[in-house]
A = this chain, B = another copy of it.
Amino acid sequence: MTKVHNYSAGPCILPQEVFEKASQAVLNFNDLNLSILEISHRSKDFVEVMEKARALVKELLNVPEGYQVLFLQGGASLGFLKAAYNFLPPREKAAYINTGSWSTKAIKEANRIGEVIEVASSEDKNFNYIPKGYGIPSEAKYLHLTSNNTIFGTQFKQFPISRVPILCDMSSDIFSQEIDVSKFDLIYAGAQKNMGPAGTTLYIVKESALGKAGDNIPTMLDLRTHIKKDSMFNTPPVYPIYVSMLTLEWLKKNGGVPAIAKQNQAKADLLYAEIDRNPLFEGVTAKEDRSNMNATFVLTNESLKEDFDAMWKEANINGLNGHRSVGGYRASMYNALPLESVQVLVDVMKELENKKG
């Protein structure tokens, strides 16, 4: 097959060996002569998948004792609501940092349950930076962050120091860099970036922090429901969890989070260096807040768009168009994207300069 350099923002590239195993399991899983799509989620074989996936999350992120790992459904979009339901008692206050569309949606859901204090926002500059230098009110029950903004291409390079618990939507950078899980009461993340395909959502929750937010939480939105049943309260999304497990196995085999973090840094350095060097391009976001996952950039001369678009498509690059709310280009460089794919893009950028610069 022709190699496609897949820069999709999510769902996104996963390792080729994961696709091969995942394809095989659809025909015959674990030599059962059954497809993974037709087995019971309560079968020994699938329970092992679920347990392995949860154990790999714990191992790869050094999840401390006292935390529970869950594989649920609904994406971060349902996570916004679950975060508020589980941590915000009715009519109490919560602090949110607004770094873009996802934070804005999280704020909307929390405002149904209690009162949101928006402690900082980068909306004044179309979310092209991460706010700094704000206070966190002590009456807030928690501080909510979006660690990486996929759309605008910004990323928290360090997390705020907070006396109130931190809840974080890490959908687009989890497993890309080392994190100290003990600094968070809740981490949640849609799978479809570094962890697996679309269709499951990871929750890492400090168990002792639950149970303080009132007791009229709908059953499916109450994280305690799923803790009690080991993520099997109802039928889980079997295949997305299986492919996530395969992806986490691949990550472990390849040196885990520290090794992939180095690679991710190398990929980001290579691309941002070219964006800064090449007079035909410029970055969209504040340099110190640039995401290692999603690099956003524009042409300095919009009339070159047709040429550039033709050239990267010719080079078998896929998924480079920017989000409609930012425009320009977005290169999503998730864990499974090889450095070689970034080099291909950089070469195309140089070639454009040589031809048209």
- CB neighbours of A319 from chain B (8 A): 40
Within 8 Å of chain B (Cβ to Cβ): is A301? no
Q: Which of A162-170, A213-221, A288-296 contacts B (4 or more CB under 8 A)?
A: A213-221
Q: Mark A321-353, 1 if CB is under 8 A from B, else 0.
A: 000000000000000000000000000000000
Q: Do A74 and B75 touch across chains, with their CB atoms under 8 A apart?
A: no
Q: Which of A24, A192, A198 has the most B CB atoms < 10 Å from its CB?
A: A198
Among B24, B32, B80, B237, point to the contact of A237 (Cβ < 8 A). B237
Q: Do A37 and B8 touch across chains, with their CB atoms under 8 A apart?
A: no
- CB neighbours of A223 from chain B (8 A): none
In the bound complex, what is the Cα–Cα distance between A109 and B222 (angstroms)? 12
In the bound complex, what is the Cα–Cα distance between A79 and B70 (angstroms)? 20
**Distance of A239 from chain B, by nearest CB (Å):** 6
In the bound complex, what is the Cα–Cα distance between A271 and B85 (angstroms)? 47
Within 8 Å of chain B (Cβ to Cβ): is A68? no
Q: Mark A25-50, 1 if CB is under 8 A from B, else 0.
A: 01110001111011111000000000
Within 8 Å of chain B (Cβ to Cβ): is A122? no
Q: Do B1 and A218 touch across chains, with their CB atoms under 8 A apart?
A: no
Q: Do B22 and A37 touch across chains, with their CB atoms under 8 A apart?
A: yes
- Which residue from chain B places its CB closest to the CB of A13 in the assembled complex? B38
- CB neighbours of A81 from chain B (8 A): 218-221
Within 8 Å of chain B (Cβ to Cβ): is A138? no
In the bound complex, what is the Cα–Cα distance between A238 and B192 (angstroms)? 10
Q: Do B34 and A219 touch across chains, with their CB atoms under 8 A apart?
A: no
- Which residue from chain B places its CB closest to the CB of A46 in the assembled complex? B11
Q: Do B238 and A11 touch across chains, with their CB atoms under 8 A apart?
A: yes
Q: Do A77 and B234 touch across chains, with their CB atoms under 8 A apart?
A: yes
In the bound complex, what is the Cα–Cα distance between A319 and B41 (angstroms)? 11
Query: Beyond A28-B1, A197-B37, A218-B81, is A235–B22 a contact (Cβ under 8 Å)?
Result: no
Among B4, B74, B239, point to the contact of A197 (Cβ < 8 A). B239
Within 8 Å of chain B (Cβ to Cβ): is A243? yes
Question: CB within 8 Å of B: which of A106-140?
Answer: 108-109, 112
- Which residue from chain B places its CB closest to the CB of A6 in the assembled complex? B38
Q: Mark A50-90, 1 if CB is under 8 A from B, else 0.
A: 00000000000000000000000111111011000000000
Q: Do B77 and A233 touch across chains, with their CB atoms under 8 A apart?
A: yes
- CB neighbours of A256 from chain B (8 A): none
**Distance of A91 from chain B, by nearest CB (Å):** 14
Q: Which of A200, A220, A235, A239 has the most B CB atoms < 10 Å from its CB?
A: A235
11 chain-A/chain-B pairs, Cβ below 8 angstroms: A8-B39, A8-B40, A19-B27, A19-B38, A20-B27, A40-B319, A73-B75, A81-B221, A197-B238, A198-B236, A198-B237
